[in-house]
Amino acid sequence: MRKFFANLPIKYKLIAAMLAVVITAEIITAMSFQSANDKYVNEYVKESSSQIAKMIADLNTSMVDFINPQDIQKTLEKIKSFDELENVHIYDLKGNILASYDRSSSIAAQPVGKESSVSFTEDGKYIIAIEPIQFKNIMCGTVYARFNTKSIQIMKHEYFISTLTKLVLTLVVVIVVVLLLNKLLVKPITELSDTMEHIIKSGDYSMPQLKDTGKDEVGVLCQHFCSMMDTIKEREDERDAAQKKEQDANEIFSKVNKSSFDAIIGLDSDLRVITFNPAAERIIGYTQNEAIGMPFQSVVVPKEQWEFFEVEIAKFRQTGNCKFTERTFEAVATRKNGEPFDAEISVIPYRGNDKSGSVVTIKDISKRKQYERELVEARRRAEESDKLKSAFLANMSHEIRTPMNSIIGFSELLTKPGSFDKNKEKYLSFIINSGKSLLNLINDIIDISKIEAGQLKVKPRIVQLNPIMNEIYISQYQINDMKNKPFELKMQKAVETDDFNINTDPFRFKQILNNLIGNAMKFTKQGFIEFGYKFSGPDKLLFYVKDTGVGMPKDKLDVIFKRFGQIEQKDDKNQTGTGLGLTISKKLAELLGGEMWVESEEGVGSTFFFTMPYDPELNTADEYGASSDGNSEASLEGKVILVAEDEDMNVAYMQEVLAETKATILWARNGQEAVDAMKAHPEIDLVLMDIKMPVMNGYDATAKIREFNKDVIIIAQTAYALTGEKEKTIAAGCNYYITKPIEINVLLNTLKGFLKNK
């Protein structure tokens, strides 16, 4: 029953509750009223009976003295009109009945009472009233009257019907009120309940529009519920949006995690691997299956750092922070195979819900660190080079001004009266040597520029080696003798015959040996300098220059082959020159197919070595001889030479040099005059064509001449000495080219070589 009542809809519960309350209240009220009414009726009847009995007693007071029963009987006959009166008996003081009236059966006589009384019979059907009869306050007798209770029953019945009618009407009113309350109170609650049921079943928190529920407690409840649903809807929307963002973020993170070039490793609170992206597999070497569950330190931390790592891990577990989580830091990590690598590591701890851990990002910066080291080294070299260049420029200024001082100074002395005849040979010797020194300086600068630009070329040809070695010995011996150096110059050859041939560039070969011997002379104060060659295998010759000079410490052996390397040596007056000779020599040796190195002991001396390829089958010499030096006294009598030159000093120099050849010399001041001269003098055998001239340059003049004369020999003379210049002149139609400043022997040997068979 209780369960049934609990499952009833609230409107039925409300009806039942109100009916129960009303009915209970009505019953209690009716019973109270009925009881009060019965009491009232009983009292009323008793009072009425008492009054009737008293009235009868009063009527008979006057008759008692006469004791006339007939008269008393007549008096009783007068009260028959009282329908409720059933019996009346009048007693004397002795209890004898003086008169009586019986509407119903008679009853036994009652004792005479001295006081008034009213009471019900035991069956409740009658009321007994006893009233004493007094005359002048003297007791004369007693009236006994019995009344029926029919009127009381009628009154009670009528009251019961009235009460029942009121109860029914009350119930009707209650039902009407309940229906109204259902509409005003229960229906909004029902709608609210239906709405809640809809929300629970559908999961849709969009609140439907409820009807106006008023401003009472139910209405406020509905309003609060609507507000609560709106809030829940907003939170649901926010949650959905957050979940969508989280989902998007997870998708993005998943894509980033998979596509990242950096290793991304997820760790739990014990710092064991729980995620391991493809980049981590590539960088560290473990597969994902291998790495998951491993302690982080076992994955990337070098073993020698494990103890330090464990200390920091203990801090992390206690505080959630440690040195690893303070910043992005660089460290040496290790791969699966034990290979160390430079890494940039960042650790981001996280704490949330019942989980905590960290995400570690590892970037392999090995290449970057290598670049940084190379950059630092390059910067160091650049700073060193800048320092060396500054010192080089200072030294270069000294090296240029020193021979220029001799050239200009002794030239001015020769102009003084009497000085030319007296000191001619000495002054001219100083001027020539200073000029050659200045030329060597310029050649070194040009050569190092070509090396840096990658334009230095060699021109190998078959030459006789020993005549070149003899020439170098004589030249260096004269220099040594002139400088009064107190040491012995020696030469050793593996082969003594002059027809021992090699394939090399004779000019560059001599440049290498002269540089090495000249360098030895600077740092050798006593003892000897020895140079020569020997066989180093069937296809290689080993050349060397040995001295007993100051020597070099072991850590300086590589420095001397760098550009301007001498600047790093201690300041010494012997350190003249550009500081480029050894750098140029090493590069030339490599271009000629060999290599160069040095062995040295400080305070004992140094030996420079370089190799050259050797072909035993070479047996013929070059058509122009082994060297540029030869017999300068070459007669060109009968030959006609056109000198195309715009500088008067150069023309004067050519005329002086060529005067001894007895050749006929013609002069053209520019390229156009050279073309005109060739047309006017077809007998011209050779043209010395300057390249840079006004009106028309040497290239264009040569091209014009080749249009009408294919046979004349044209030798270009130019101050340009860069790679490609020779090829450019040959392409323009020249047969050969020589560079300025022009050496007399080189010029005469070149003319002899081209004109001897013409």
Of the candidates 294, 283, 272, the one whose C-alpha atom is nearest the C-alpha of residue 337 is 283
CATH number assigned to the domain comprising residue 445: 1.10.287.130
Q: What mean pLDDT do residues 321-333 have?
A: 70
Q: Does the residue 165 lie in any domain?
A: no
One domain for residues 108 and 137: yes
DSSP per residue over 68-81, as a string? Answer: -HHHHHHHHHTTTT
One domain for residues 138 and 216: no
Q: What mean pLDDT do residues 472-493 have?
A: 77
Q: Is the pLDDT of residue 633 over 60?
A: no
Q: Which of 145-154, 236-245, 659-668 has the highest mean pLDDT?
A: 659-668
Q: Is the pLDDT of residue 619 over 50?
A: no
One domain for residues 409 and 465: no
> What's the confidence (pLDDT) of residue 622?
39
> What's the confidence (pLDDT) of residue 621?
35
One domain for residues 434 and 531: no
Of the candidates 566, 521, 561, 529, the one whose C-alpha atom is nearest the C-alpha of residue 545 is 529
The two three-digit tokens of residue 524, written as one number: 């050798």
> What's the confidence (pLDDT) of residue 656?
86
One domain for residues 475 and 545: yes
b/e burial code for range 236-247 (CB count within 10 A of at least 16 → b): eeeeeeeeeeee
> What's the confidence (pLDDT) of residue 594?
93
- H/E stretch holding 377: helix 366-415
Say which amino acid occupies 699: Y
One domain for residues 418 and 546: no
Q: Is the pLDDT of residue 313 over 90?
A: no
The answer to whether 171 touches 116, Cβ cutoff 8 Å, is no
CA separation for the pair 5, 14 (Å, rounded):
11
One domain for residues 10 and 154: yes
Q: Does the residue 131 lie in any domain?
A: yes
The answer to whether 670 touches 691, Cβ cutoff 8 Å, is no
Q: Does the residue 226 lie in any domain?
A: yes
Q: Does the residue 480 lie in any domain?
A: yes
pLDDT digit string (tens) for 260-308?
A: 788 888 888 777 888 889 988 998 889 989 999 998 778 887 776 767 7
CATH number assigned to the domain comprising residue 552: 3.30.565.10
Question: What integer best gives the mean pLDDT of the chain?
Answer: 77
CATH number assigned to the domain comprising residue 739: 3.40.50.2300
Sheet holding 736-739, edge to edge: 664-668, 640-644, 686-690, 713-718, 736-739
Q: Does the residue 171 lie in any domain?
A: no
The answer to whether 532 touches 491, Cβ cutoff 8 Å, is yes
Structural domain harbouring 655: 640-755
Q: Does the residue 704 lie in any domain?
A: yes
> What's the confidence (pLDDT) of residue 541?
94
Lowest mean pLDDT segment, chosen from 26-30, 102-106, 147-151, 728-732: 102-106
Of the candidates 690, 652, 654, 651, the one whose C-alpha atom is nearest the C-alpha of residue 671 is 690
CA separation for the pair 305, 148 (Å, rounded):
123
One domain for residues 602 and 462: yes
One domain for residues 601 and 463: yes
pLDDT digit string (tens) for 376-405?
A: 888 887 887 777 677 666 666 766 776 787
Q: Does the residue 380 lie in any domain?
A: no
CA separation for the pair 493, 505 (Å, rounded):
19
Of the candidates 522, 552, 559, the one whose C-alpha atom is nearest the C-alpha of residue 387 is 559
One domain for residues 441 and 492: no
CATH number assigned to the domain comprising residue 302: 3.30.450.20
One domain for residues 562 and 487: yes
Q: What mean pLDDT do residues 343-349 have?
A: 80
Domain count, the chain: 6
Tally DSSP H helices, then E strands, for the chain. Answer: 21, 22
CA 653 to each of CA 55, 97, 290, 340, 433: distance values in angstroms, whole numbers, following the listed order: 196, 207, 87, 71, 18
Of the candidates 571, 524, 516, the one whose C-alpha atom is nearest the C-alpha of residue 395 is 571
Instruction: Name the domain boundary from 364, 395, 420.
Output: 364
One domain for residues 359 and 392: no
Whose tokens are 């220029």? That residue is 404
pLDDT digit string (tens) for 498-545?
A: 778 899 988 889 889 988 998 888 888 888 999 999 998 888 999 999
Instruction: Name the domain boundary from 419, 454, 489.
Output: 454
Q: What mean pLDDT do residues 569-577 have?
A: 49
Q: Does the residue 194 lie in any domain?
A: no
